[in-house]
Amino acid sequence: MRIVVVGAGSWGTAVACLLRDNGHEVTLAARDAAQADAMNTTGRNPRYVQAADLAGIVAAPIPDAPVVDAELVVVAVPSRVFGDVVSELPGDSPVVSLTKGLDPTTGARLSTLVRNRPVAVLSGPTIADEIVRGLPAAAVVASDDLELAVRVQVAVHSVLFRVYVSDDVVGVELCAAAKNVIALAAGGADGLSLGDNSKAALVARGLAEMRRLAESAGARPDTFAGLAGMGDLIVTSWSPSGRNRRAGELIARGAKPDEAAAEIGMVVEGLTTAPVLRDLAHRLEIEVPITEGVCAVLEGAPLTDLVTTLMSRAPTTE
């Protein structure tokens, strides 16, 4: 297949390599022309996952990428620009979203911003640097169009990257967004040295919070026990490479949110998603105490207040 990957960050680069390894003709489109030139010249991404060998992948600035001729367009850009990027894509090729977040302006799921073309969502526990090192992983592709979901599955699936199909787009997208917020809190537990018991309890209750919210939005319960739910939440909350976990840890140790993001040097989606997710929960009248607490901390409240608030909640059934 002729495939264009729009977004040359860590995950976009890793997926471009997966697709190249499966024999597809891949163009990796970068927002920065200088970055595209460097990738073509050196065969490496100068900014992200520099271990990735880009041989066989053509890099181009986004405006010059052959999107009209592509049989599939994979979009891996930050949530804050996702809507603008997909609205400017020429042609009518199907879109696969790799972005894990919500639209910060409207609170909409990102797949709903894709107009007049089929759309699928790929998500799961996928740390990019492990993918480019050839370590085994698995993900799920969700779409209302089963034929498209299977087409994406066949395009990406390999002996090292196992892909499952789902029709629960709502569940997969909301899991992908919400797990980043819970991971911020998990990183905060690391930063405060609260121990594994407290972190495990926080993540488990975070999964329950994610499930309440997404079920109210129409998602299926089984999605939360799968790769997009529990799988992605675990890796994001524990991996040293998890940006959101790391940001939470830095904030717990005194950094402001923008300082934490600057030190990490990559997009930390949870920082953008947290208030959007909280507002969605308010509209659905769903309790999300961990998300509420994360938002309070991002707005300046001490992280110790979040711990006290969560531990002081009235006892209840699980």
Q: Active-site residue numbers?
A: 179
Half-sphere exposure of 286 (CA within 13 A, CB side): 20
Tokens matching residue 66: 């052959």
Start-to-end Cα distance in the chain: 48
Residue 248 C-beta-side C-alpha neighbours within 13 Å: 36
For the beta carbon of residue 78, count every other beta carbon within 10 angstroms: 17
Which stretches does DSSP call E strand in 83-213? 95-97, 119-123, 137-142, 161-166
Instruction: Kindly compute the dihedral angle of the four CA atoms of residues 256, 257, 262, 265, in this order, to the nearest 10 degrees.
Output: 140
Residue 263 to residues 32, 232, 249, 250, 266, Cα–Cα distance (Å): 21, 23, 12, 9, 8
- Residue 315 DSSP class: P
Do the strands 25-30 and 2-6 form a parallel or antiparallel pair, or are they unpaired? Answer: parallel
Which residue type occupies 241? S
